[in-house]
Amino acid sequence: MKAVLGTTVRDMVTGFTGIVTGRVEYITGCNQALVQPKMKEDGAAMPDSAWVDEQRLEAVSGAARVKLDNGATPGFDKLAPRR
């Protein structure tokens, strides 16, 4: 499956579940998605995200797609550093 940003997916091998927050395509064809799990109930620490091969992912049915409105702040607002 081609990972779509904002969708909830599950790794069919490990059961690792989360929201796709990034995607990369390599020249070798080994495309991957960055999967960010949700916070644990205690909220003690931000759980680590993981890069997972797209061929191992399946969409979680019934999960709403996350969409962020960044129209007012589309990116970093400072100039690049100069030497």
Strands (E), 1-83: 8-11, 17-24, 32-36, 50-53, 57-59
* Residue, of 77 and 82, whose pLDDT is higher: 82
Q: Is 70 exceeded by the pLDDT of residue 50?
A: yes
Comparing 82 with 61, the larger pLDDT belongs to 61
Q: Are 52 and 11 in contact (CB under 8 A)?
A: yes
Contact indicator for 63, 8 with CB cutoff of 8 Å: yes
| Average pLDDT, rounded, for the chain | 88
Identify the band that residue 44 occupies on the pLDDT scale cut at 50, 70 and 90: confident
pLDDT digits (tens, 9 = 90+) for 21-32: 999 999 998 999
pLDDT at 79: 63
